[in-house]
Amino acid sequence: MSSQYKVIVGMGSCGIAAGAKKVYDSLQDTLNDGSAKLVIGGCMGMCFAEPLVEVAADGKRVIYGRLTSENAAEIIAKHIKTGQPVIESVIWSEGLDSADANYFNKQQRILLKNCGVVDPESIDSYMSHDGYKALEKALKTMTPEQVIKEVEISGLRGRGGGGFPTHIKWTLAGKSAGPDKYIICNADEGDPGAFMDRSVLESDPHRVMEGMLLAGYAIGASEGYFYARAEYPLAIKRLRMAIEQANQKGYLGKNILGTGFNFQLFIREGAGAFVCGEETALIMSIEGKRGMPRTRPPFPAEKGLWGKPTNINNVETYANVPAIIFHGGAYFAQYGTESSKGTKVFALAGKIARGGLIEVPMGITLNNVVFDIGGGLQGGGKLKAVQTGGPSGGCIPAELCDTPIDYDSLKKIGAIMGSGGLLIMDESACMVDVAKFFLTFTQDESCGKCTFCRAGTKQMLRILERISEGKGKSGDIELLEDLATKIVQGSLCGLGQSAPNPVLTTIKYFRHEYEAHINDKICPAKKCKAFISYEIDADKCKSCSKCAKGCPTKAITGAKKEPYVIDKAACIRCGLCMSACKFDAVLVTTGSGRGE
């Protein structure tokens, strides 16, 4: 028996981690009476309310969130039986005023249109949402030059972070001679704090493939490679399925749609090297070598993979192309600003009330994102900074968060657009610690080819470590700035050129924090271990002994009905006692109030 109801369970990695599989199983038992069609979907983008289930009928969507395997079946069954949404569990539904409605209503979802809607493991599902129509349109009615022209009209710029105009890359690769050309999709999303590409690949893999096919047609390539992070097993699995299905349906292979166009796609898995996000390093890696960048020119458009002309874009860039070709470039260009057209996908995370995968028109301000879409900070905290662009980006202080999000405005204030990670920080974040965190990462990931990147980042990290250990000296800040400038100048690729950004922006906007560490031996955020101490508030302590049991150095002692005490000499300031205490009795102090 067929039913008008369709029940979609969001099964991206995050959803599964939050228990979506169990929810799915529980629904399977309930809905096997045929009252609804149960399908899996990708990421619905509302990570803050996972696991998510959508009930769709007659074009009306109702999304439920924060479900458990215990209550999901009951809620969904009630909805289907009564035909009415169970309001108190609804996260979003069109026209319904729920507490979290703004999360969706303030977005502009073009690229993510299908995410959470189509079944990522079914090509038919993609096709029923205009899938591969853009390819058909291009192959049957447009020349390669016309395809590139539409991309030019759209104003699309590289979404991996560089912001290079896509049509110029395509034109160059198209003009390069030779029958063997390659398309590469950079899915080596290495920025910690970014998960846009993973979500898109897990939720709508065919869209990315269609974009690559269009690029292949535009530049005259017949082979394409996905270079995907090995840490994304689900994305890789779904890509494999998608490629197989597209081959069966004739969207890949020889003589596609009877037009004489041939194209095949392959997957290469990365092996854990951040530098491979750089295009020449990535090409080396596909060629089975150490992923070390080389000098450009020649650019990949002339001499890329196996020495042949190659076009390389990231996941999001390709995923934008089908809509541009299907609706025309002007459709895309109506969104955004003069120099940054269209929409951009961001991974909103950190201390944000509603974190997740969002898509917004370029030009929207950071404050709009944090407060309108993200619902402000977790636990009502105060915004301290927004970090964009991961280890290559910068920390933007709260007072500059009315800056519009576009390539040029962000660059002006020392940050970058980056690939789309937006990390929200509250007052508990120590800026020296954040800078140290990113430098630890880039220093570790430097491939070692350029001296300034290899040795310079290490020296910067040493200085930061010194500062956070209470051994900072006057002149350290200036030394950091000096080193930073030289690393930028002396590095071949984007990794080194941008590695100092987190340090430079934190010094620029939070210099007083560095000075507090160096001169006053205080960590204002109470994060750096050298400057803090833990103690137990005798009035709040209930003598439950949880803290003592969890203490790795047995520094906490006490007895029944007696408040517990921390031996500060034995304490290693790991903070496990603070996590263990249910009564907020463990306090952390810094500065003059700090015990020794």
The token pair at 534 is: 């833990």
The single residue among 347, 401, 484, 518 that binds another protein, judged by CB under 8 A, is 347
Q: For another protein, which residue of 205, 361, 421, 456 counts as binding (CB under 8 A)? A: 421
Structure tokens at 278: 């750089």
Q: Which stretch binds another protein (CB under 8 A): 75-83, 429-437, 469-477, 488-496?
A: 429-437
Q: Which of 363, 360, 362 is nearest to 374 (CA)?
A: 360
Taking the complex as a whole, the smallest distance from the CB of residue 199 to another protein amounts, in Å, to 8
Among 34, 179, 552, 593, binds another protein (CB under 8 A): 552
Smallest distance from the beta carbon of 417 to another protein, in angstroms? 16
Token readout for 13 is 């990695």
Distance separating alpha carbons of residues 322 and 118, to the nearest angstrom: 16
Is 110 a binding residue for another protein by CB under 8 A? The answer is no
Quickly list H helices, 469-545.
Answer: 476-490, 494-498, 501-515
> Site size for another protein, by CB under 8 A?
63
Could you tell me the smallest distance in angstroms from the CB atom of residue 69 to another protein?
16
- Contact letters for another protein, residues 567-586 (x by CB under 8 A): -------xxx--xx------
The pair of three-digit structure tokens given for residue 46, joined into one six-digit string: 């509302």
Query: Which residue's CB is nearer to another protein, number 80 or number 239?
Result: 239
Q: In the complex with another protein, which residue's Cβ is closer, 387 or 505?
A: 387
Using the minimum distance from each CB to another protein, give the nearer residue, 178 or 328.
Answer: 178
With respect to another protein, which residue has the nearer C-beta, 176 or 446?
A: 446
Whole-angstrom distance, CA of residue 374 vs CA of residue 425: 13
- From the CB of 423, what's the least distance to another protein, in Å? 5
Closer of 106 and 268 to another protein (Cβ)? 268
- Rounded distance between C-alpha atoms, residue 300 and residue 278, angstroms: 11
The residue (of 142 and 576) whose beta carbon lies closer to another protein is 576
Contact indicator for 39, 76 with CB cutoff of 8 Å = no
Question: Does residue 442 belong to the site contacting another protein (CB under 8 A)?
Answer: no
Instruction: Please list the alpha-helical segments (H only) found in 121-262.
Output: 123-127, 133-141, 144-154, 166-175, 196-203, 205-219, 233-249
- Cβ 415 vs Cβ 396: under 8 Å: yes
Residue number with CB closer to another protein (230 or 570): 230
Q: Determine the 3-state secondary structure of 369 from DSSP.
A: helix
As a whole number of angstroms, the distance between CA 432 and CA 466 comes to 11
With 0-12 CB in 10 A as exposed, 13-18 as middle and 19+ as buried, what is 6? middle
Sheet of 394-397, strands arranged across: 356-361, 343-350, 421-426, 383-388, 394-397
> Is there binding between residue 104 and another protein (CB under 8 A)?
no
Using CB under 8 A as the criterion, what x/- string covers residues 517-536 for binding another protein? --------------------
14 binds another protein per the rule CB under 8 A: yes
Question: Do residues 405 and 362 make contact, with C-beta atoms less than 8 angstroms apart?
Answer: yes
Site for another protein contains 99 (CB under 8 A)? no
Report CA-CA distances (Å) from 547 to 120, 562, 594: 46, 14, 20
- Ramachandran angles phi, psi of 535, nearest 5°: -145, 165
Distance set, CA 288 to CA 283, 306, 445, 470 (Å): 9, 11, 18, 45
Among 39, 273, 499, 586, binds another protein (CB under 8 A): 273
Q: Mask of contacts with another protein, 26-65, x by CB under 8 A?
A: ---------------------xx-x---------------
In whole angstroms, how close is the CB of 293 to another protein at the nearest point? 13
DSSP assignment string, 246-271: HHHHTSSEEEETTTTEEEEEEEEE--
Binding to another protein by CB under 8 A, coded x per residue (else -) over 367-386, reads --------------------
CB of 22 to another protein, least distance (A): 12
> Please, what is the end-to-end C-alpha distance for the chain in angstroms?
73
User: Which 284-323 positions form the footprint of another protein (CB under 8 A)?
Assistant: 285-291, 306
Contact status: 593 vs another protein (CB under 8 A): no
Task: Tell me which stretch binds another protein (CB under 8 A): 29-37, 86-94, 268-276, 403-411.
Answer: 268-276
Quick one: 223 or 279, whose CB is closer to another protein? 223
Among the listed residues 356, 418, 456, 472, the single contact to another protein using CB under 8 A: 356
Q: Give the whole-angstrom CA distance, residue 255 versus residue 259.
A: 6
Interacting residues with another protein between 185 and 244 (CB under 8 A): 189-195, 198, 230-233
Instruction: Rank residues 154 and 442 by Cβ distance to another protein and give the closer one.
Output: 442
List residues near another protein by CB under 8 A.
Answer: 13-14, 16-18, 47-48, 50, 189-195, 198, 230-233, 266, 268-274, 285-291, 306, 347-351, 355-356, 387, 390, 421, 423, 425, 428-429, 434, 437-438, 441, 445, 447, 550, 552, 574-576, 579-580
